[in-house]
Amino acid sequence: MSAAAFAKAVDRNPAFARLVNRHSLALFNQAAQSVACNRLHTLESRCARSLLMTHDRIRMEPFVLTHEFLSYMLGVHRPAVTLAAGVLQRAGLIRCTRGKVIVMDRPGLEAASCARYDTTRANSERLIGS
């Protein structure tokens, strides 16, 4: 869909426009929380948060997520992600094998994550219901 067609669809359908606005606001809130998280929290905590957010959206186990891609998400080098994921794996919170992740202990992973995960999740649920 072209940008012009998208803009026309938004202009013609107020319900669609509200939905787009809610999704945009949820994305903006997520970005703002990520900036704060990147500044204030350990890599392990940020890794736990990103894994939880991915798990929330994909809703299947295992989910495909390489250390390389997670490093892009977190803005760090891949070896740092391997170390952080290793900490979470040794704690029994996740299992990583060949680009796939299984959440073994979701409450534990939530505890390992920063509080911004709960804030981001609550904002998303409030704005878009997921």
The answer on 48 and 37 residing in a single domain is no
The answer on 4 and 28 residing in a single domain is yes
Listed range (5-9, 44-48, 104-108, 114-118) with the worst mean pLDDT: 114-118
Q: Give me the long-range contacts of 116-123 (CB less than 8 A, separation at least 24).
A: 116/33, 116/34, 116/36, 116/37, 116/41, 116/49, 117/48, 117/49, 117/52, 117/53, 119/33, 120/29, 120/30, 120/33, 120/49, 120/53, 121/52, 121/53, 121/56, 123/26, 123/29, 123/30, 123/33
The pTM assigned to this predicted structure is: 0.80
Number of domains forming the structure of the chain: 2
Tell me the pLDDT band of 130, cut-offs 50, 70 and 90. Answer: low
Per-residue model confidence (pLDDT) at position 37: 76
The answer on 125 and 109 residing in a single domain is no
Tell me the pLDDT band of 128, cut-offs 50, 70 and 90. Answer: confident
DSSP 17-64: HHHHHHHHHHHHHHHHHHHHHHHHS-HHHHHHHHHHHHHHHH--SSEE
pLDDT tops 90 at residue 100 = yes
Domain around 93: 42-113
The answer on 19 and 31 residing in a single domain is yes
The answer on 14 and 46 residing in a single domain is no
The answer on 76 and 53 residing in a single domain is yes
